[in-house]
A and B are shown apart, each in its own frame.
Chain A
């Protein structure tokens, strides 16, 4: 149920109500920060929105027009942040995000996508198993001395923490050790999670990564996967079950820390003086609910037979990072207007950072403006890709710095 034609019901159900473009009513806080779709905010045409992309998909499917590069650019301008999907699903039973992903796959299958930068990324993954094209042999360099044996808990580091932001991977292992959790790292057995390929419509390539990683996890007897990267987290929970049986529990490091704090197995005793505002990464928040396969029928008046488990963004990981940061002495957590399931995307998701860096920077600047409006001195999150984009948005300084969740937690651990 993932091909473009499978989403006809969604395309034909849209009433053009505009909810995909604005924050859900009661969660708005006033005139400012009420818009939610990063591309609609920049380009304003309806075509640049969940609603517009549904109608483009419909006409493309009906053969009203043929794909061409300018259309591809529009479809790939979307950050696949899922804000449209969550807002639409607050009122409807429509699959906006899945339709957009299917539209990208449709373009790729027809030879009209992805963007050249995304195709290059796929080639790098094929060659080196990571999105950066760095030598695979270096993937586990950060984990020198860490256990690579069988264990029920595995830390899945992901490409960004393995190569670009190794401090996140090291901090995560340190936190797990402090909490008394034994874990294995996949090391050289770990390949890209496949998320960046899936979200750019390169499904076949993404599925190859999934199958490899599943085999590696199964070989080690893993039952629980811990991630520190929102992108990996959302992919493991939202994509892997579409490809194969997925008998694993996936937990984000913030959930693990919260549980350890609650059980008294971890203490955050060193004070950290900071006023922190939390940026909910799309893949950790609204898009992180587990995907439950559904192959049913939509009958008269929208009745789904059998009932479908919709992913409405309600059960994303929202509380854990806030509770953990709030438990650090000296840390004050303040909220942006667009938070939790209504968080504004950093601007770089869905391959936009690679293909349209200027567009990503503009969205990031808006997110930074919102973060500054809270009076925070620290913008914290748990996604190395959000970090890349938001740090670009923070380039002018202005008294706000970005810090990863794991960095803040390690700062509060006893030395």
Chain B
């Protein structure tokens, strides 16, 4: 199916000839299969580069009129924004990339979709401000994460989920109305998401980010936190061997190991009770080895040495930062007391040195996509949130379904390649299990489906909230009850706001 010429012409009149294309090589760049799947996504019918909310309104209305489905995107990492069927157009919002305002006094920034994580985080440091930067690498869209994906990062221990930082919102609804939400609705500025004015910040996200998302968010304000580091990041070296060092009297990285996951969990909770630290997490070990090396061969040398498996099976990563040396000294004393209380000890010096020599892991995670380096399949099987205790329980149950895959040689032998990131000083936590598989094996495309199914069945058996909430009817029927059947409610909201089901359909 391709767009009728008159529809294409109608869209072309909105954005101009330069900013629309249906040539096959333009489409080739947005329909390539991801390395983790053998399935080529359906091709979009056209790619558009709108330049304003007004243009998006017109495009969305045309889509509603002609039953054309649309998906708005920026980087399209890991296939979250691919067409799910024919008759879909892609709205690439990269021309809408203005940093509209940084309000240091009221601590918010107003951004358009094309502003990237790397740009905003570093720009805000000049103002002594920061925000929870999603662990997607510097090229990811800030707006997409705050408004749609709510991806978490390593440094959210003293912060919260990104969608809670949303303030004023400018939104093109699935049917093409332009709404301003929160305080923006009554021209009171960007400072408040709830009002005066309507608050729909839970609705714009749709079901799970882009999968079923509602309309197109064209501008948002995000609340900002204090940045305790320097206005300009001090780095040495060149890609890929750069190092970022912060003043060790105010910033320090620690990696501890624990005899049991329960002790690791209890230390996490105790650190939260003490309300210290910027980052506290149990991190992946295979992914850590990938981040620590500069080629696949280097990774294999390290992984085969067994160091990361041995030292980082039950680790606790901590990043302390403070405004003054005295404050830092206090936090460090409290931390070391807690670690000792729960039986933790410092990991091998070689590992500790990696993090102390390069604090980027806690700042921008500029090299994050190294976790994809091995070039084959890579996917998260667990991607959900609950309490710290529950998330650790989910992690403890990983071997029961993962071990057969390892024994059959279908996935990398990395049982401990999962992370738990506590948020809000331990009031909530996020889990993620990454499994890696090689494309050279027979029926490699079946591996992720089999693995995720086994993971979901384990959650059902154990009553665990580990699986990403379902997006398909079949998955909803299987596991929806574990999530209060929220998918049913989400479907009803979708029907009300997007009756033609043209916005981010799945």
Contact = CB atoms under 8 A, between A and B. Distances in A.
Interface of A: 9, 12-19, 21-31, 34, 44-47, 49, 51-52, 54-56, 58-60, 64-65, 70-71, 74, 86-87, 89-94, 298-304, 307-308, 310, 312-314, 318, 340-342
A46 B92 CA distance: 9
Nearest to A340: B238
Contact of A65 (B24, B116, B241, B412): B24
26 contacts: A9-B375, A12-B375, A13-B35, A15-B34, A16-B34, A16-B75, A17-B369, A22-B138, A25-B366, A25-B367, A27-B239, A27-B242, A30-B122, A34-B118, A44-B94, A44-B95, A45-B29, A47-B28, A47-B29, A59-B25, A86-B239, A91-B373, A92-B373, A93-B375, A300-B438, A302-B375
A91 B369 contact: yes
Interface in B20-36: 21, 23-26, 28-32, 34-35
Contact of A90 (B26, B235, B239): B239
B115 interface: yes
Interface in B266-318: 294-297, 300
B303 to A, nearest CB: 9
Which residue, B25, B242, B244, B375, has most C-beta atoms of chain A within 10 A?
A: B25
A55 B32 contact: yes
Interface string B361-392: 00111111110111110000000000000000
Given A21-B139, A93-B295, A304-B296, A59 B24 contact: yes
Closest 10 CB pairs of A and B: A25-B366, A18-B139, A52-B29, A302-B296, A25-B138, A46-B29, A18-B75, A47-B29, A13-B375, A65-B24
B360 interface: yes
B120 interface: yes
B374 A318 contact: no
Given A65-B25, A308-B295, 18 more contacts: A14-B35, A15-B35, A16-B34, A18-B137, A24-B366, A25-B122, A25-B138, A26-B244, A29-B122, A31-B99, A46-B29, A51-B29, A74-B25, A90-B240, A90-B366, A300-B376, A304-B296, A314-B238
Nearest to A285: B238
B123 interface: yes
A341 B238 contact: yes
Contact of A24 (B28, B92, B242, B438): B242
Contacts of A60: 25
A301 B115 CA distance: 33
Interface of B: 19, 21, 23-26, 28-32, 34-35, 47, 49, 74-79, 92, 94-95, 99, 115-120, 122-123, 126, 137-140, 232-233, 235, 238-242, 244, 294-297, 300, 360, 363-370, 372-376, 412, 436, 438-441
Nearest to A304: B297
Contacts of A21: 139
Contacts of B244: 26
- Specify which of A19, A45, A314, A340 lies most central, judged by the most chain B CB atoms within 10 Å of its CB: A45
B235 to A, nearest CB: 5
B439 A12 contact: yes
Nearest to A41: B94
Nearest to A51: B29
A44 B360 contact: no
A284 to B, nearest CB: 14
B119 A45 contact: no
B375 A16 contact: no
A34 B233 CA distance: 15
B85 to A, nearest CB: 19
A56 B28 contact: yes
B369 A301 contact: no
Given A21-B139, A52-B29, A314-B239, A26 B366 contact: yes
Contact of A301 (B26, B28, B232, B300): B300
Nearest to A58: B32
A186 to B, nearest CB: 33
Nearest to B79: A16
B187 to A, nearest CB: 26
Nearest to A30: B123
Contact of A28 (B122, B294, B297): B122
Contacts of A46: 29-30, 47, 76, 92
- Interface-centre pick from A17, A55, A60, A312 (highest chain B CB count, 10 A): A17
A304 B373 CA distance: 12
B116 A26 contact: no
A80 to B, nearest CB: 18
Given A24-B242, A28-B118, A86-B239, A92 B369 contact: yes
A2 B506 CA distance: 40
Given A18-B77, A18-B137, A301 B375 contact: yes
Contacts of B74: 18
A16 B73 CA distance: 12
Given A45-B47, A86-B239, A16 B295 contact: no
Contacts of A64: 24, 28
A15 B25 contact: no
A74 B49 CA distance: 17
Most buried by A among B76, B296, B374: B296
B268 to A, nearest CB: 27
Contacts of A14: 32, 35
Contacts of B239: 24, 27, 86-87, 89-90, 312-314, 341-342
Given A12-B35, A55-B28, A92-B372, A26 B242 contact: yes
Interface centre among B78, B120, B139 (most CB of A within 10 A): B139
A12 B115 CA distance: 28
Nearest to B27: A47
A65 B29 CA distance: 13
Contacts of B375: 9, 12-13, 92-94, 298, 301-302
A391 to B, nearest CB: 28
Contacts of A65: 24-25, 28
A371 B241 CA distance: 26
Given A47-B25, A301-B412, A15 B123 contact: no
A89 B29 contact: no
Contacts of A23: 118, 138
Contacts of B95: 44
Max chain B Cβ within 10 angstroms of own Cβ: one of A21, A71, A298, A303: A303
B23 to A, nearest CB: 7
B364 A25 contact: yes
Contacts of B137: 17-19, 25, 91
Contacts of B30: 46
Contacts of A17: 75, 77, 137, 139, 369, 372
Contacts of B117: 25
Nearest to B90: A46
Interface centre among B365, B373, B375 (most CB of A within 10 A): B375
A304 B375 CA distance: 12
Contact of B119 (A12, A19, A30, A299): A30
A217 to B, nearest CB: 30
B319 to A, nearest CB: 16
B436 to A, nearest CB: 7
A41 to B, nearest CB: 10
Contacts of B365: 25
A25 B372 CA distance: 17
Contacts of B32: 14, 16, 54-55, 58-59
B300 A15 contact: no
Contacts of A24: 138, 239, 242, 366
B119 A31 contact: yes
A365 B28 CA distance: 30
Nearest to B439: A12
A21 B120 CA distance: 16
Contacts of A300: 376, 438, 440-441
Contacts of A47: 25-26, 28-29
B297 A303 contact: yes
A29 B238 CA distance: 15
A126 B126 CA distance: 55
